[in-house]
Chains A and B, each alone.
Chain A
Amino acid sequence: MHEISILGRASITRPTAFVGDAPAVRARTTPARTGETATVAPTERADRLALVFAGRLDAAGAGLLWTPALKAASGAKGRPLLFDLSGVSLCDTAGATLLVAAENAHGSRAELEGANEAMAALIARVREALQEPAQAKAASERLRLIPLLLSGFATAANGIAFLGEAAVAIILAPRRLRMLRPVDIFGTADQAGVRAMPLVLLLGFLIGLILAFQSAIPLRTFGAVIFVANLVAIGLFRELGPLLAAVILAGRTASAFAAEIGTMKVNEEVDALSTMGLDPMTMLVLPRLCAAVLVMPMLTIGLELAGLVGMAVVLKLFGYPLAAVVAQVQGATTIGDFAGGLFKALCFAAVVAAIGCNRGLATGRGPRAVGISATSAVVGGIVATILLDGLFALVFYRLGL
């Protein structure tokens, strides 16, 4: 006889389930009750393999016996299997799961010996409960693969549909003025613009400062430090101003749009709007688009001015008077640089806000979906801004702007 004795005490002991021959004892102090040693002993009985279990077959006991019991059961394939449970003091669903798992490893149903009526009923119930899942799991994995392959197309189609719906909403907006509530537009503008201004100014100032300082060091070698003003001013007006403002808008505002609308979607508020005959595009998307486009020039100009101040501080430290820096900026930049940057910024704002709203309206069910929407709004907004910026660079170059 080969015996495997698993030593160890149940870490979770509780007054539950089925006791071998006696009715369950459920004392008031039972959580503190000491666990018993759970053992399994494979024994040859005529032509059968008997697994003799003893002790508490609860979660802790089942955990200890899992590997040896399944190994012994699978080693007896082709021969009848018997579970001797006469030494088992307690068997809960975890213990019954162990027995059924051993049966599955063996490949056929085991004969039960020494199990009382309640224990046998529990094992029968667990056999029943464990019958369906394998098939369900396989089907579910197949079902998940298909949406994964089609998700790219679905996202693209969703974007195109959104653009179409937004265009229709803009065209029909004059007829739906009652749905466009000024409080929504100005409230959103306050959130996206006024409250974002300190961050924009700080970021602009630091970017101007760092850019000027990093440029001044190599340019000093050639005695051309004053041209730092040209570099920073042109860079800010044409490129960095609109780009950084759009990144801030994407990170701060588009994510908020996605989360707000996404939460409304989850709470069925969007459905409620539709059932009241109110167009969600007009009620929810247009005010946010308007607000973003409205505040973006302000944010861009703020960032550019703060950047110029940062640059002026560095040049002042290098000994250049403020008047010389201002004159240099005036000479180096044109109104075209400034206006071109603002135009880009307006386009970025519209795209970033539209992506935020689109992600919000595409939110699935559950709180996790809102987080996913907010993240994809930020990522989508930044990627779209950079792609659009590349496109603008090409167009401006071809137009000689």
Chain B
Amino acid sequence: MSAGSRAVVVRADGVAQRFGSRTIYQNVSFTVAEKEVFVILGGSGCGKSTLMKQLIGLIAPSMGSIEVLGHDMLRERESVLPHIGVMFQSGALFGSMTLLENVMLPLEIYTGLQPAARESVARTKLGLVGLAASASLLPAEISGGMAKRAGIARAMALDPPLLFLDEPGAGLDPITSAGLDALILELRDALGVTFIVVTHELASIMAIADRCIMLDRDAGGLIAEGRPERLKAESTNPVVHAFFHREVL
């Protein structure tokens, strides 16, 4: 899928993150085009999740700027939030609410839908992720894979054009993880959603990523950007090569 002709939905320009005197990464720049599955990858501790938190406005970058859907995330975060969906690593479902209530919550806050309409829309979302029969269950009563799918359903509640997924396959068995990958591609194709996925699961990256960037802790920033197949075949960077070929450095 060529990204060249499509509109840019996320633009990061010279982003850096520092905690005290420690620099996690710096000078990170990239763009994400609409309807793209864009993967942020890298080893543990390289700052993948921190970068995602910056993209969704939970952490202000120490330097640089981030633009999401044409809005500066530092100054106009509030106007962007209803237009993005985020699935956190654990699903982050509200334990006191059923899956249906979890998905209905953003609809209740951001739309004027009547309760019956809200419920129908929420059931649709749960149906899209294959959880229609589990709508009345509490998060404590479902498996990790189901919690992640419910997290995606809640993130999709308002039909955002942009979804952020933090480690969707972490802690899941390969079959469930592959099911989530298929779901991401299906939602991208059926609903035209743009995905920004943080992961270090190689199989998942190869299955879903249109394009990816790789962060490295030692380099303190971006070490690669491009299509995963090309990075795997052509990258001369030893860390990128080791990552894609599961080698010891």
Residues on A facing B (Cβ under 8 Å): 11-12, 14-18, 24, 26-32, 58-60, 62-64, 66-67, 92-94, 96-98, 100-101, 118, 121-122, 125-126, 128-133, 135-137, 140-141, 364-369
Contacts and interface: CB of A to CB of B under 8 A. Distances in A.
13 contacts: A11-B110, A12-B111, A16-B160, A29-B70, A62-B113, A93-B121, A93-B191, A96-B124, A100-B124, A122-B191, A136-B133, A141-B136, A365-B141
B144 to A, nearest CB: 12
Given A63-B112, A93-B125, A16 B117 contact: no
Interface stretch (B4-12, B58-66, B218-226, B227-235): B4-12
B70 A27 contact: yes
A27 B9 CA distance: 8
B140 A368 contact: yes
A26 B114 contact: no
Contacts of B127: 126, 128-133
Contact of B121 (A28, A94, A133): A94
B140 A18 contact: no
Main secondary structure of the interface of A (DSSP, over half): helix
Contacts of B95: 366-368
B111 A63 contact: yes
A59 B113 contact: yes
Contacts of B185: none
A28 B161 contact: no
B159 A14 contact: yes
Contacts of A67: 114
B69 A28 contact: yes
Interface in B119-138: 120-121, 123-128, 132-138
Given A93-B191, A94-B121, 14 more contacts: A16-B160, A26-B35, A28-B69, A29-B71, A30-B70, A62-B117, A131-B132, A132-B127, A133-B123, A133-B127, A136-B136, A137-B135, A365-B140, A366-B138
B155 to A, nearest CB: 13
Nearest to B128: A129
A122 B156 CA distance: 14
Interface in B87-135: 95-96, 107, 110-114, 116-117, 120-121, 123-128, 132-135
A97 B137 contact: no
B190 interface: yes
A340 B114 CA distance: 63
B8 A28 contact: yes
Q: In the complex, which of the residues A11, A30, A60, A128 has the most CB atoms of chain B within 10 Å of its own CB atom?
A: A30
Nearest to B194: A26
Contacts of A367: 95
Closest 3 CB pairs of A and B: A129-B127, A366-B140, A28-B70
Contacts of A364: 140
A140 B132 CA distance: 12
A340 to B, nearest CB: 45
A11 B112 contact: yes
B67 to A, nearest CB: 8
B92 to A, nearest CB: 12
Interface in B2-55: 6-9, 34-35
Interface stretch (B75-83, B208-216, B240-248): B75-83
B160 to A, nearest CB: 7
A97 B120 contact: yes
Contacts of A369: 140
B158 interface: yes
A382 to B, nearest CB: 24
Given A26-B9, A122-B190, A136-B132, A129 B79 contact: no
A20 to B, nearest CB: 14
B139 interface: yes
Contacts of B110: 11-12, 59
